[in-house]
Amino acid sequence: MEITAPLQNRLRQGNHPALLWVQPTYQYQGQRLTAAEAAEKGLKRKAPPVIRLEQIREITEFLGRPPLEAPRNVVVVEEAQTMAEAAANALLKTLEEPGQATLILIAPTPESVLPTLVSRCQRIPFYRLDAQSLAVILTQTGHQEILQNQAVLSIAAGSAGSAIASYEQLQVIPPELLEDLKKVPKSYRNALELAKKIDKDLDTEAQLWLIDYLQQFYWQQWHQPSIINQLEQARKHLLAYAQPRLVWECLLLSVYQKSNSISPNHR
């Protein structure tokens, strides 16, 4: 199919009649909002966005009609790993019998998606850019300052888009809070105060990103696997809807208790 300029514009805008782009959403006052829409409204999100069962039903409805301006319908499911089991099971039949359609599931790794979904898909890996290519893209797009932040580059894992998104998220974190978290807590009280501030100032999405950042930063500074593992456990607890303040209290108190095993030069 030849893609004309008007169709290319509609594809970029996400409103091509043969394309459905599905993103994780929040539920707010009877509406489903993407992360960008929630941010525009200034909502403090208490849980990460997910792909919902209703969205899978909308995919089924979308594919139930013939393509309008293309030989095939295309559905892209972004962050497919956020699908709950009920939503994933509802998608199985569509993956088995897609008809005149192509479904693309985007996820960080095959292991992050239910095996029943992976078994019905063809894996197409997207490899990371090398450091030089990444530097060229960030410089050409006016984001060369990111190249000075090794933790952000590590989170990005060779993706220019992820690097830019992470750097933008970094700007949301209060600078004084970030500086305090880069050091071992000074006392039990200090650890509890930091946990309280994180819970008060940051929504869950920002807290999850902060865990990624601290994993990279702490590893570069201290090379302590136990602390990295504790951060990973904290992430799992947040994703399981545990009380964020309690999660951070347990984490920071543990970091303080283990501080004696960290070289004084790194404190």
Contact 1, 71 (CB under 8 A): yes
Residue pLDDT, tens place only, 141-197? 999 999 999 999 999 989 999 999 999 999 989 999 999 999 889 999 999 999 999
Q: Where are the alpha helices (DSSP H) in the chain?
A: 5-13, 35-40, 53-63, 85-96, 115-118, 131-140, 150-156, 160-172, 175-181, 188-201, 204-222, 225-239, 244-257
* Total-model pTM: 0.72
Give the chain's length. 267
- The domain made up of 5-118 has a fold known as Rossmann fold (3.40.50)
Domain range summary for the chain, segments of one domain joined by +? 5-118, 131-172, 175-266
Query: Which residue type does 234 have?
Result: A
Closest CA to 227 of 254, 195, 267, 245: 254
Ranges of residues in the chain whose predicted pLDDT is under 50: 1-8, 10-11, 264-267
- CA dist 100 and 103 (Å) reads 10
- CA dist 50 and 35 (Å) reads 10
Q: Quote the pLDDT of residue 261.
A: 54
- CA dist 136 and 156 (Å) reads 15
